[in-house]
Amino acid sequence: MARLLVVHHSPTPRVRELTDAVLAGAGDDAIEGVEVVERPALEATADDVLAADGYVLLTPANFGYLSGALKHFFDTTYDAAREPTAGRPFGYAIHGSTDTSGAERAMVAITTGLGWRLAAEPLTMLGELDDDHRERAYELGGTVAALVAG
């Protein structure tokens, strides 16, 4: 069975809501043959990354950058994951209060270094969530899960 790893730092209700929508989309009944594994960024390990066939990453944009927790995730898994996971599909969502551009640049730089393949349009947003954001998060989870399922 294929495995999708959803790594998130969800300290705010908005990012938690996005995470829940991604998980719901990834677990849609129409998608078969995928185990969805959820890990908070501070708990995800290199073994989690190596065991997965694809990834969805969620983070707030803090002070113009990725959350410290997601940065820690990358810091502790990057070397072990870089070569063995190259080419695997991933998607991401970033929520910010005023700006997400620095977090987006960091996400692109790190995942490019890992050699991961962007599988769905990134979801970046500011401020309050609306139904479009929730729907797009659901689609993000579903799209990456469907690609992982083959």
Contact (Cβ atoms closer than 8 angstroms) between residue 118 and residue 88 = no
Mean pLDDT across the chain: 97
Closest by CA to 20, choosing from 3, 5, 8, is: 8
pLDDT band, residue 62 (cuts 50/70/90): confident
Report which secondary-structure segment, H or E, holds 23.
helix 13-26
pTM above 0.75, yes or no: yes
pLDDT at 105: 97
> At residue 145, does pLDDT exceed 90?
yes
Question: Which domains can be identified in the chain, with CATH numbers?
Answer: 2-149 (3.40.50.360)
pLDDT at 64: 84
pLDDT at 63: 87
pLDDT at 8: 98
Q: What is the pLDDT of residues 79-138, one digit of tens each?
A: 999 999 999 999 999 999 999 999 999 999 999 999 999 999 999 999 999 999 999 999
Q: What is the mean pLDDT of residues 8-13?
A: 94
CA 108 to chain centroid, in Å, comes to: 12
